[in-house]
Structure formats: structure tokens, C-alpha cells
Amino acid sequence: MQTGKRKRMGFTNRAATAVLIEDLLVTLGCLILCFLSIGRNFDGSLPYLSALIALEQVKVSVVLPFVINKSKAENTRGGITYETAIQTTQPRVDC
């Protein structure tokens, strides 16, 4: 069992979390502005707001695969994954 200590997230995980939170906030902010514009009978188009959402999504789709690949590399040693090693030595442990 763990004592009261929490394991700190590494830089990569903190960066990925920050990117996801920023994406969420920017997307929600843009959608709120779009709804306000439509609600106030704005007759123009909203290309800047929709482009900003798309750019945020592109950023997320670039960052997250790197985080996943780094995680795969960290959990593989000598051609065997951590989960496989644990399951062969301790079959009742769920990773």
C-alpha cells in the first residue's frame, strides 16, 4: 500500500494536461462567443472563431501521439513490456 505520498506527474504529462485544458477552455470560449453572436443576430461569418478551434484541435492531435509514444518507450525494457513482466511473475496482479 502507498503511504500518504503522491507521485508527481512528469513534465510530459503536465504539458499534455496543460494542452488539453487549454484546448477545452479555448473551445468553450469560442463556442460561447459563437452562440452570443448568433443570439444577437450577427449577420457575418465566424471564420476566426472556427479557425481557432481547429488550430487547437491540431495542436492536441500533434502533442498527444508524442506523449503516447514516450509512454510506450518508458514501459518497454529489453523488448518486453512492464505489463507482460508483471503478469508472468504475478499472474493475479492487474496492471
What does each C-alpha distance from 90 to 14, 72, 84, 93 come to in angstroms? 31, 21, 10, 6
* Beta carbons of 54 and 6 less than 8 angstroms apart: no
Residues with Cβ within 8 Å of residue 63, at least 6 apart in sequence: 15, 16, 19
Report pLDDT for 60. Answer: 92
- pLDDT tens, per residue, the chain with 95 residues: 456 677 787 888 888 999 999 999 999 999 999 899 989 998 888 888 889 999 999 999 999 898 888 877 776 666 666 666 666 776 665 65
Report pLDDT for 2. Answer: 55
CA 20 – CA 64 distance, rounded (Å): 9
- Taking the domains of the chain in order of start, what are their residue ranges? 11-89
